[in-house]
Amino acid sequence: MLNFRQSTKALSDIFLPRASRLHHMAYSHMEAWWRDGTPDFRDWLRRAAISWRREPVVKRIPRPTKLVTARRLGYKAKPGMVMVRVRVRRGGARKPRPTSGRRQKAMGSSKFTRSISLQSVAERRVVRRYPNLTVRDSYHLYSDGMSHWYEVILMDHHHPGLQE
């Protein structure tokens, strides 16, 4: 018989199965990697970004890279959910150079600020590539000197796996 008053274990350790405790532990470790980053993890991320540069701008991926963030934003590993990694060039927008008529001295082609964020630019590019899917959410993945990478969660509302 287990005496609760003399037990030093927490109630969650007694009643919850081991797998559910590991689930929370694994997610907190993953979150700590992305937040603090061990040297090995930062090295892996830098090497991954080198390979991402050679990939297409919009690339469908089998599973999210930042699993904790993706699940917080609504990702589930079920048919009808699609993950896409998008690369967006850093910096402001480039206004086209005037081709006809009088040109201004400065031409207004530099220091041109977008009214939308680079994350929404990434979402729009994904929607153009996958017109039958709708955007659930997106999150920032990584940045280097040239590019930002975002992962976008897409849903197919007509898929039988997502019909509720």
State what percent of residues in the chain have pLDDT above 90: 50
The answer to whether position 91 is within a domain reads yes
The residue-averaged pLDDT of 23-51 equals: 85
The answer to whether position 151 is within a domain reads yes
Contact 130, 122 (CB under 8 A): no
The answer to whether position 123 is within a domain reads yes
DSSP string, 67-133: HHHHHHTT--SSTTEEEEEEEEE-S-B-PPPP-SS---SSTT-SSBPPSS-HHHHHHHHHHHH-TTS
The answer to whether position 7 is within a domain reads no
Burial 130-163 (b: 16+ CB within 10 A, else e): beebebbbbbebbeeeebbbbbbbbbbeeeeeee
Position 142 pLDDT exceeds 70? yes
Position 27 pLDDT exceeds 50? yes
Q: Residue 11's pLDDT is what?
A: 40
Q: Name the pLDDT band for 22 (thresholds 50, 70, 90).
A: low
Q: Residue 100's pLDDT is what?
A: 78
The residue-averaged pLDDT of 52-63 equals: 95
The rounded distance, in Å, linking the Cα atoms of 27 and 141 is 17
Domain that holds residue 132: 14-98+107-162
The residue-averaged pLDDT of 102-124 equals: 80
The answer to whether position 28 is within a domain reads yes
User: How many domains in the chain?
Assistant: 1
Q: Residue 164's pLDDT is what?
A: 66
Higher pLDDT, 11 or 81: 81
Under DSSP, is residue 32 helix (H, G, I), strand (E, B) or coil? Answer: helix
At 46, which CATH number?
A: 3.40.1120.10
DSSP single-letter state for residue 156: -
The answer to whether position 6 is within a domain reads no
The answer to whether position 8 is within a domain reads no
Contact 131, 140 (CB under 8 A): no
Instruction: Tally the residues of the chain.
Output: 164
